[in-house]
Amino acid sequence: MDILWEGLPVFSFAVQTIESRIASLWDNYFHVSEFVYGKRGVCVPQPKNPILHLQGHVIAEKIKKRELTCEETSKAFIERIHQVNPLLNAVVGDRFEEAIAEARYIDKVLDSDAPECDERKSFLLGKPLLGVPVTVKESLACKGLSHTVGLVDRKDAIASEDAKVVENLRKAGAIPIAVTNCSELCMWCETGNQLYGRTNNPYDSSKMAGGSSGGEGSIISAAGSVCGVGSDVGGSVRIPAFFNGIFAHKPSPSVVPSDGHEPEAGTVASSEFLGIGPMCRYADDLAPMLKAMAGPNARELGLDEEVDLSYLKIYTVHQSHFPLLTSKLVDSELLERQKQVCNFLEQHFCATVRDAGIKSFKYSPLIWIAMCSFSNDKLGAKLEHYRKETEKINPAVEIFKSLIGYSKYHWATMSVLLTESFHNSYPGAFWKFFEVGSRMREDIQDLLGNDGILLYPSYPHTALAHQRCSLAPMNFSFPGIFNVMHLPVTQCPLGVNSNGLPLGVQIVAGKNNDKLSIAVAKQLEKEFGGWKQWYPGKSSNP
């Protein structure tokens, strides 16, 4: 173990050097993905219907005031999905007819003057998200729709009831209209699987939408949905939100229920790592969505309380402490925009910016692996439960078959199985990183307290060409480390780079201080523009 510990920086340097060399060849000479996806893809057309530009909570208020009908609102988003989904492949199941029927019922009650409708009308008017169309990641059960998690072994799985979070959204008045694509078993940072194919980025269809909640990120950014639900155990709402230029929030542990999610969180430890979070185009929708999704548990977060950002403490991490085994450099435009964020907060809120001084960030990939491995919630057992074959999986063989196109599994899923096999054979191999992670969790919580935030890169690069993330699989640890640190994180868009692709940053707060990171995101949206109602590439009208 000591040899591994001491040799890690050298090994990391070798990995980074190889990755950067291959990436240079990939991007500048071989253009591998161009044979399949084209040198530059197309972007979705501008959303013209004014309803598509409204915030979710504004939609609810307009419906209550009868400035909008619930039916016309649902139809606007459904029509937009029909327009953009052929290009994006984000929506993989819908309940459009049922959603319109539910919308018509709401309109009928609200428009009725009959005395017997007064009680029902009052009941509906009390719902904070009344009539707001929402989409749901396919890994979360939505009654009557597919619930496969992109796994061939579950191709016939249909949800018999709603996941608890979907049930909570319905109680708040929201109307689920569709489920969206995810990576196989939510195990990879690009959304694609053998059942539904690959999801594209609305800014440039030759770019990845991120994962595992990539369908949500893509369709929300394309204005096919205003708000949605994703899940996050290693950056799975934040990576796609970043690549697609929208907001997302990974909440504090165990606040939003994960019942009805596949793979399920079978232990207390794994349920604390898995965050079911909102994904939205507008920062003002994060808190209403989070409250609705959490149900009674939302009281723990005090989301209705005023947040004073005066004398905010801002922490950053020096580049020398960015994770080992990841890409050699973080894009300069991302670091420059983060610096601009610091300057803005300093000038407007008397904030102080300082280095967090936590060197353990270097070990983020191995800390995440170690802490997840010790959760005793094994993917292998779950996969065997899903499968119909009696023959046991050989992950090494399946990885090879996957790379040449002959496996029904994704190589990333099989890589997780290999890691589990290694841990089962050598259970003490990652123990030192588990200890480092446990100390780091205490240090970072003490550092942030109730008035501190940490600004941290969401990912080393903006949206990459399809498959390109395979060259540096450990890049997920930029967001993933905060799952095992038990911290809430808001992903905030910050405009676009010189190539017209979204920039962004993670805003990390202390445990149960979700309202602080969301409040900061609202301020940054005002300053840097948030979601851009503009797409840079050649537009397509599918």
List, for residues 171-222, the tens digit of each pLDDT value: 999 999 999 999 999 999 999 999 999 999 999 999 999 999 999 999 999 9
- Please give the Cα distance from 95 to 143 (Å, whole number): 10
For residue 3, what pLDDT band results from cuts at 50, 70 and 90?
very low
- Please give the Cα distance from 138 to 221 (Å, whole number): 17
**For the whole model, what pTM was predicted?**
0.95
Q: 2 CB contacts (<8 Å, ≥6 apart)?
A: none
Q: 396 CB contacts (<8 Å, ≥6 apart)?
A: 414, 418
- Please give the Cα distance from 247 to 403 (Å, whole number): 33
Q: 176 CB contacts (<8 Å, ≥6 apart)?
A: 95, 99, 133, 134, 135, 136, 142, 166, 169, 170
Indicate whether 33 pLDDT > 90: no
Phi, psi of 452, deg, nearest 5: -125, 150
Indicate whether 73 pLDDT > 80: yes
Return the higher-pLDDT residue of 33 and 184.
184
Predicted confidence at residue 296, as pLDDT, reads 96
Q: Are 409 and 398 in contact (CB under 8 A)?
A: yes
pLDDT in tens, 438-462: 999 999 999 999 999 999 999 999 9
Return the higher-pLDDT residue of 389 and 106.
106
Classify 495 in phi/psi space as left (phi over 0), alpha (psi -120 to 50) or beta.
left
Predicted confidence at residue 268, as pLDDT, reads 66
Predicted confidence at residue 384, as pLDDT, reads 81
Angle in degrees, 0-180, between the axes of helices 395-403 and 411-425, rounded to the nearest 10? 160
CB-facing half-sphere around the CA of 184: CA atoms within 13 A: 25
- Please give the Cα distance from 196 to 517 (Å, whole number): 34
Predicted confidence at residue 26, as pLDDT, reads 66
List C-alpha distances in Å: 387 to 377, 409, 537: 17, 11, 42
Q: Identify the CA nearest to 506 among candidates 471, 531, 481, 473.
A: 481
Q: What's the chain's length in residues?
A: 542
Query: Percentages helix, strand, coil for the chain, rounded to the nearest 5?
Result: 50, 15, 35
Indicate whether 31 pLDDT > 60: no
Tokens describing residue 58 = 């504004």
For the ranges 88-102, 238-252, 378-392, 393-407, the lowest mean pLDDT is seen at: 378-392
Active site residues: 137, 212, 236
Predicted confidence at residue 4, as pLDDT, reads 53
User: b/e for 206-245, b at 16 or more Cβ within 10 A?
Assistant: bbbbbbbbbbbbbbbbbbbbbbbbbbbbbbbbbbbbbbbb
- Please give the Cα distance from 230 to 213 (Å, whole number): 6
Return the higher-pLDDT residue of 174 and 393.
174
Q: Identify the CA nearest to 160 among candidates 134, 139, 135, 142.
A: 142
| Count of H-run helices and E-run strands, the chain | 19, 17
- Please give the Cα distance from 74 to 224 (Å, whole number): 10
Indicate whether 428 pLDDT > 90: no
- What average pLDDT does range 89-95 have in this prediction? 98
> Within 10 Å of residue 489's Cβ, how many Cβ atoms?
31
Predicted confidence at residue 507, as pLDDT, reads 98
pLDDT in tens, 473-496: 999 999 999 999 999 999 999 999
pLDDT in tens, 496-519: 999 999 999 999 999 999 999 999
pLDDT in tens, 316-364: 999 999 999 999 899 999 999 999 999 999 999 999 999 999 999 999 9
Tokens describing residue 484 = 């095992």
Q: Identify the CA nearest to 384 among candidates 140, 146, 138, 154.
A: 154
- What average pLDDT does range 286-302 have in this prediction? 97
For residue 290, what pLDDT band results from cuts at 50, 70 and 90?
very high
The angle subtended at Cα 273 by Cα 270 and Cα 275, nearest 5°, is 120
Mean pLDDT of the chain: 92
For residue 429, what pLDDT band results from cuts at 50, 70 and 90?
confident
361: three-class secondary structure by DSSP:
helix
State the virtual CA torsion across 346, 348, 351, 353 in degrees, nearest 10. -20
**263: preceding bond cis by omega (within 30 degrees):** yes
Q: Could you give the percent of the chain with pLDDT greater than 90? A: 79
Burial label, 6 (beta-carbon count in 10 A; 0-12, 13-18, 19+): exposed
Indicate whether 7 pLDDT > 90: no
The label of the residue with tokens 């579950």 reads 154
Angle in degrees, 0-180, between the axes of helices 364-373 and 411-425, rounded to the nearest 10? 70
The label of the residue with tokens 């399920």 reads 264
Where do the DSSP E strands lie in 55-126? 91-94
Predicted confidence at residue 233, as pLDDT, reads 96
